[in-house]
Amino acid sequence: MAKEVIEVPITGKILSVECKVGETVKEGDVICYIESMKMENPILAPVAGKVTEIQISVGQVVEAGKLLATIEY
């Protein structure tokens, strides 16, 4: 199986995590919401597959480039 590593695209605060490890997601499903510059930004799954890792939690402040999640497909 191939892996898709999703990184945080912008510095901000995690508002919500919309999926769990082991869950199957479709391409375009929301992985989480990040607040940056007073805007809610959805982070979408780039591929369909199974979420195998989540490295963020609600309330956490993250910087661009940090590992957000991994999807196997």
2-21 residue pLDDT tens:
999 999 999 999 999 999 99
Q: What is the mean pLDDT of the chain?
A: 97
Please report the pLDDT score of residue 1 as a whole number.
86
Please report the pLDDT score of residue 62 as a whole number.
98
Q: Domain holding 25: CATH number?
A: 2.40.50.100
Quote the domain boundaries for residue 62: 3-72
pTM here is: 0.93
37-57 residue pLDDT tens:
999 999 999 999 999 999 999
Cα separation, 16 vs 32, whole angstroms: 5
Total structural domains within the chain: 1
Give residue 46's identity as a one-letter amino acid code: P
How many C-beta atoms lie closer than 10 Å to residue 64's C-beta? 11
